[in-house]
Amino acid sequence: MEKHRIIALKKGDILRERGDYIVISGYLICKLSRQLIHFVNTGDFITTDMTFANDIFHYEARSNVQLILVEDGSIREAREKREILQKKTMMCLARRMDLFLEPVGRRFSMFVYQAGAEVGMVQDNTCQLPPILTHQEMAKYIGCTREYLCGLRRKLIKTGKMVDGKGWILLDWDEWEREAYLFYNLPEVLEAEKSLDRQV
C-alpha cells in the first residue's frame, strides 16, 4: 500500500512547501500579493510548483485545511493537471482585473457569484457559501467599504436573490449563473477572453 503525506494548515496559514496537492478538507484562496484571485474547494488540485507564472501566486488557508501530497502520479498526468490549473488561474486573474473596470454593484455580484461557483454548496437551485470571508474582507477584495457592501447585500435580499439572515445563501442559482453567463459573453468581454485563450 502506498503512503501519502498529509499537510495540515490552520486558517491564515500560507502553503509554502513545494509540491502538487489535493485538498481533502477545508477551503483556501489563491492570492497574488494581497489580492484574492480565486477560491479553492475540497477536492481541488493545487500546486506550488507554478513555474508558469514565476510563482507569483500563493495559497492561503481560510479554514482548517488538510492536503494530500500527490507523489505517485505519472509525470504526464501532473503536467496536464498543472496546465489546466494554469489556464484557470490566468483566466481568474484576468477576470478579477477586468472586474475593476465595472461599477461596484457588478463587482460585488460577480464576486459573490465567483465564490458560489468555486466553493458554494448547490442544492435545489440554492447556493450556500461557506463562512470563509468576513464582510470586511469581502469589501476589501471588491474595493469598497464594508458599509457599502452591506448596502449591496441588503439590495440582494430585497430583490429575492439572497436569504435574509446569517451567512450567504443565494436563491435562484440558475438566474445567478445566467447573469454571469450573459456578462462574460458581452462582446468586449468575450473578445478579451478569447485573446487570452489563444495565448495561454
Q: How far is the CB of 3 from a copy of itself (least distance, A)?
A: 30
Q: How far is the CB of 56 from a copy of itself (least distance, A)?
A: 6
Q: How far is the CB of 98 from a copy of itself (least distance, A)?
A: 5
Closer by beta carbon to a copy of itself, 117 or else 192: 192
- Backbone φ and ψ for 36, nearest 5 degrees, come out as -80, 130
Residue 115's identity, in one-letter code, is A
Nearest to 36 by CA among 27, 45, 44: 27
What secondary structure, in 3-state letters, does 108-122 show? HHHHHHHHHHHHCEE
Closer by beta carbon to a copy of itself, 97 or else 150: 97
Nearest to 196 by CA among 114, 88, 111: 88
Closer by beta carbon to a copy of itself, 180 or else 189: 189
Closer by beta carbon to a copy of itself, 81 or else 140: 140
Kindly give, in sequence order, each residue whose CB lies less than 8 Å from that of residue 183, ignoring residues fewer than 6 positions away. Answer: 106, 110, 189
- Pairwise CA distance, residues 115 & 79, whole Å: 27
Binding site for a copy of itself (CB under 8 A): 32-35, 52-56, 58, 86, 90, 93-98, 100-104, 107, 140-141, 143, 145, 188-189, 192-193, 195-196, 199-200
Q: How far is the CB of 111 from a copy of itself (least distance, A)?
A: 11
